[in-house]
Amino acid sequence: MEAWQLFLDLGRRYLGEVMPPWVRRTLNKELMTPLVKEPPPPGKQPDCRPAKARDMDISAWTKAQQRKHCNEVSRQLIPQQLAIGVSDGVAIKPHGSNLGLELARRRGEKYMQAALDVRNAHNEYNRRAAQQRLVEHESAHPNSGAWINLSRAHHSDCAQPSDVYMRDATAARGLKHVCEGRAGGPQGSALTCIVFPILLDGILKEAEQRFPGIETKAIQDDVGLYCDPSIILG
């Protein structure tokens, strides 16, 4: 029980901006490791991509914060973002697309669906811009502890670069420093899956305001535009 309470207290200090930046930077180091999604055919090299693994303690703290405030974030991002805190939310977008197409056919209206995928969205988003959006939400909802906590947590997690290492048998300690993470959300941070949609939300809502008739829907970085073809194609 004592160890559990110390673990919780350490997490509160990490996410609450109590720790000095150099301590947070020490704790949120990442280890580069290859991620193989499918077994390779016999005799072939695996198709792998680099992934950064964080310490489980840090991941547990960010996951707890994300789960605690997921519903509040969802209320602000709907109806554009469909899957924040929604069980099986990824199924809503294709079903809605099919219903919209069927309705346009029945009415004899022109209808177009354009699919966009924001490349490397979670790995390359601007951390400062994301923090500014969180601060704006915090100012707009001064009585909501969710936005205060999320703003502080993201700043604690991303204000300083994260050191990335990889295993190296020739290194003195078996690890070699590769680079610093300065963009996007740290891999393994559950905050990333709500911070990026928060950053994207303003763009989706502004698109609907500037182009009447267009409808935007998104599952994280998978964005769909729905409207008359003339609006999308100009």
**Over its length of 234 residues, how does the chain's per-residue pLDDT go in tens digits?**
688 999 999 989 999 888 888 888 888 888 888 778 788 888 888 877 777 777 788 888 999 999 999 999 999 998 898 888 877 777 788 888 888 888 888 999 888 888 888 888 888 889 999 999 999 999 999 888 899 999 999 999 888 888 889 888 898 889 999 888 888 887 668 888 899 999 999 999 999 999 998 999 998 888 999 988 888 887
3-state secondary structure 92-156: HHHHHHHHHHHHHHHHCCCCEEEEEECCCHHHHCCHHHHHHHHHHHHHHCCCCHHHHHHHHHHHH
> pTM for this structure?
0.83
